[in-house]
């Protein structure tokens, strides 16, 4: 399973570089054409590629759904991931909370904890604003209505004045060797800065996000990052060469 997942990641990179033909991919990876066809069919089923005559191309970016729609998806998994991630937060910590529905689920568990919370996640503001134990720092900037979060140069300028114990990050997809993907360069830029300002990077991703690369812009993840997920061990095996710590919800 691990070997096949690694080849799938490498096939995606090869297609992105221009090798879209079955025979060329088979020669490149030292496997049969039928094996490559099975790999491409598997990637097509995950909507990572679109099959063509004799090969494949990278799939068009997945249509981005609203925060309200995403909140209604995979709720039990997101709740379990949030509960597992809660154990990573110590009293008095400074944490950065990214946008996204799974990070929002974590934020809902923080009431009563003594923390400094730095966030772009607007739905969390009314939930945490009246909690005296929490010092809430909101990163202003341009509103992104589809995700109900802020981004842009104003948010980044404020973030440069903050360092944190850890950042809890969402993603549209997570691929080994690539990082996390998002729909816009502005989102990726902010995520990269969040990672630089935090001592530890924690990605919250349910099983539907692993191995998925449906958006065109990528933020690489640092060495030793942490993945909190409901996915089984075999689905996380491809991340092992990166030294990822996996916490199973």
Walk me through the domains of the chain, giving residue ranges and CATH numbers: 2-58 (1.10.10.10), 67-248 (3.40.50.10470)
Structure tokens at 196: 């630089």
Please state at what angle helix 2-16 crosses helix 22-29, rounded to 10 degrees: 130
Q: What is the mean pLDDT of residues 110-129?
A: 95
Tell me if residue 119 falls in helix, strand or coil.
strand
> Which ranges in the chain belong to alpha helices (H)?
2-16, 22-29, 33-45, 67-71, 75-86, 101-107, 124-128, 153-159, 185-197, 233-236
Please state at what angle helix 22-29 crosses helix 33-45, rounded to 10 degrees: 110
Dump pLDDT digits (tens) for 128-140: 999 999 999 999 9
CB-based contact 47:19 (threshold 8 Å): no
| Confidence label for 2 from pLDDT (cuts 50, 70 and 90) | very low
The span from the CA of 125 to the CA of 143, in Å, is 14
Checking if the pLDDT of 54 tops 90, the result is no
Q: What is the mean pLDDT of residues 169-196?
A: 91
Share of the chain above pLDDT 90, in %: 50
CB-based contact 169:202 (threshold 8 Å): yes
DSSP symbols for 176-245: TTTEEEESSHHHHHHHHHHHHHEEEEEEE--TTTBT---SSEEEPPPTT-EEEESS-HHHHGGGGGGT-E
Share of the chain above pLDDT 70, in %: 87
* End-to-end CA, the chain: 21
Dump pLDDT digits (tens) for 23-36: 889 888 889 999 99
Residue 57 bridge partners (DSSP): 50
The span from the CA of 190 to the CA of 149, in Å, is 11
pLDDT of residue 39: 87
The span from the CA of 121 to the CA of 125, in Å, is 7
Q: What is the mean pLDDT of residues 181-197?
A: 92
pTM: 0.73
Q: What is the mean pLDDT of residues 148-157?
A: 92
Q: Residue 227: which of 186, 170, 177 has the closest Cα?
A: 170
Mean pLDDT check: name the lowest of 9-18, 148-157, 183-192. 9-18
pLDDT of residue 47: 64
């Amino acid at each position: 399973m691990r070997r096949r997942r690694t080849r799938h990641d490498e096939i995606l990179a090869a297609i992105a570089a221009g090798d879209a033909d079955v025979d060329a991919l088979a020669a490149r990876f030292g496997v049969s054409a039928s094996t490559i066809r099975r790999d491409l069919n598997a990637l097509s089923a995950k909507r990572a590629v679109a099959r063509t005559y004799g090969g494949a191309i990278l799939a068009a970016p997945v249509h981005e759904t609203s925060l309200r729609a995403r909140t209604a998806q995979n709720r039990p998994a997101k709740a379990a991931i949030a509960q597992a991630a809660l154990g990573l937060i110590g009293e008095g910590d400074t944490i950065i909370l990214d946008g996204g529905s799974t990070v929002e689920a974590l934020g809902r568990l923080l009431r009563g904890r003594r923390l400094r919370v730095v966030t772009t996640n607007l739905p969390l503001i009314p939930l945490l604003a009246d909690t005296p134990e929490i010092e809430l720092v909101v990163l202003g900037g341009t509103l992104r209505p589809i995700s109900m979060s802020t981004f842009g140069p104003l948010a980044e300028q404020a973030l440069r004045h903050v360092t944190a114990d850890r950042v809890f990050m969402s993603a549209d997809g997570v691929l080994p060797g690539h990082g996390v993907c998002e729909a816009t360069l502005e989102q990726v830029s902010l995520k990269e800065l969040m990672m630089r300002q935090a001592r530890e990077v924690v990605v919250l991703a349910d099983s539907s996000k692993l191995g998925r690369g449906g958006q065109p812009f990528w933020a690489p993840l640092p060495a030793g990052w942490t993945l909190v997920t409901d996915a089984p061990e075999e689905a996380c095996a491809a991340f092992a060469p990166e030294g990822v710590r996996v916490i199973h919800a």
